[in-house]
Amino acid sequence: MPIAEEALRAAKVLHPDEGFMPRPSKRRVITVANQKGGVGKTTSTVNLAAALALHGVKTLVIDLDPQGNASTAVDVDHRSGTPSVYELLIGEVTLVEAAQASSQSDNLLCVPATIDLAGAEIELVSMQSRESRLKEALTDEALAQLDVDYVFIDCPPSLGLLTVNALSAAHEVLIPIQCEYYALEGLGQLLSNIELVQKHLNRTLTVSTILLTMYDGRTKLADQVTQEVKNHFGEVVLKTIIPRSVKVSEAPGYGQTVLAFDPGSRGAMSYLDAAREVAERGVEGKQE
Ligand code: ATP
Ligand code: MG
């Protein structure tokens, strides 16, 4: 039985026609941020993007973390010297020049991060409009030329200038929260930074989505955290909760999202469900 169930799930992931995913009424730019490390920012970015792409919704991932984990997961070239988000920020290349198609899907594009981004946080300090350089690079013309419906920006685990650039460039923030004891700690700091950006740089920015990640059903604590987050944030919390799953953590080692690596796994299914929720909220201005 379990094998049959898994096959069914795989079929659902691999035959997207049966599970329609709506295109948004207008293009959505979503920053995935949480200054806490290892909460699932990158995993959520690449798997939500892959789920949308697999369903025909063209999606761009911008890897804004010098670690380059998102670039690895979607399997795009990110050796030093590759046109990347670093060159984009300093104005040496355009968005169209820096975007690469993932080997996993033509609908999945990525602007990679190379190690060159590691110095950018400091280099940006002395640059003009240092908080808005990404925003300026994401022109309507370039996004239209790439023909993308979604842009996900994967942030590093800090609240420095790279994250500020991501918050300035987006319409929405998606905050992944790990179902763990210290989950809510530090969130106040993130939210007050978001408020600062709203006030000074990007009035229309909203925290549109909270995604609970790495849920371990065996612990009472996970349920407590889940409840606490729901009480605090209400309906911006997605109903889908991402379970802790070995397949999810193994996939990047193969240069794959979990949807490509093991489409029948619970991890793949849950990201597919989460992506559907995100997509449904994007229809007819529901995200605002
Ligand atoms: P950083 O702050 O370093 O950028 P992050 O917030 O982007 O980290 P991830 O890299 O997505 O977090 O995840 C941290 C680790 O947890 C990774 O090794 C990842 O493979 C693993 N992981 C993420 N989600 C899950 C999951 N649902 N089940 C099991 N492992 C997971
Ligand atoms: Mg990351």
Q: What is the domain-level CATH number for residue 238?
A: 3.40.50.300
Q: Is 257 in the pocket of ligand 1 (CB under 6 A)?
A: no
Would 160 be classed as within a structural domain? yes
Cα 144 to ligand 1 centroid, rounded to whole Å:
31
Long-range contacts of 123-132, Cβ-Cβ distance < 8 Å, separation of 24 or more: 123/90, 124/89, 124/161, 124/162, 124/165, 125/161, 127/90, 130/161, 130/165, 131/161, 131/164, 131/165, 131/168, 131/201, 132/165, 132/168, 132/169, 132/201
Is 239 domain-assigned? yes
pLDDT under 50 in the chain at which residues? 1, 287-288
Q: Is residue 243 a contact partner of residue 217, using CB atoms and an 8 Å limit? A: yes
Residue among 210, 246, 249, 262 whose CB has most ligand 1 atoms within 8 A, to mutate: 249
Give the pLDDT score at 214.
Answer: 96
Q: State whether the beta carbon of 43 lies less than 6 angstroms from ligand 1.
A: yes
**Axis-axis angle for helices 266-281, 41-54 (nearest 10):** 70
Q: Which range marks the domain in which residue 80 is found?
A: 2-15+30-281
249 lines ligand 1 (CB under 6 A): yes
Report the number of distinct structural domains present in the chain: 1
Q: Is residue 288 part of a domain?
A: no
For the stretch 147-192, pLDDT in tens is 999 999 999 999 999 999 999 999 999 999 999 878 888 899 999 9
287 falls within a domain = no
Q: Indicate whether 20 belongs to any domain.
A: no
Write down the pLDDT at residue 16: 56
174-185 pLDDT per residue, tens: 999 999 878 888
* Cβ 212 under 6 angstroms from ligand 1: no
Helix, strand, or coil (residue 187) = helix
pLDDT of amino acid 60: 98
